[in-house]
Amino acid sequence: MIPTGIGKDSPGVDQILKPVYGYRNIEAPKSKRRRLISDEEKAALATQLMECKAAGMTRYKASKHLGISETLCRRLIAD
């Protein structure tokens, strides 16, 4: 037998509150992050991208060569 006053539901033991489950603990979705690029940087990257294109590189290869994301490459080409 367990002696009186030892169990977790005994009146002498401080009750520890469990964390509340539900929507309150869910974080809001993160906003999309974009790299802030000045017009001068954008122009310089665009010229480098055109040089890579003239050299016969694919968009993926050019993005790795320039050290930028492929999405940024696509946006620069679109602009």
- pLDDT per position as a tens digit, 12-29: 656 666 666 666 666 666
Annotate 7-44 with b (16+ C-beta within 10 A) or e (fewer). eeeeeeeeeeeeeeeeeeeeeeeeeeeeeeeeeeeeee
Residue 55 has a pLDDT of 92
Residue 38 has a pLDDT of 83
Identify the residue whose tokens are 């040089």.
51
CA distance 74 to 46: 11
pTM for the model: 0.52
- pLDDT per position as a tens digit, 35-76: 677 888 889 988 999 899 899 988 889 989 888 888 888 888
- For 4-65, strand residue ranges (E) read none
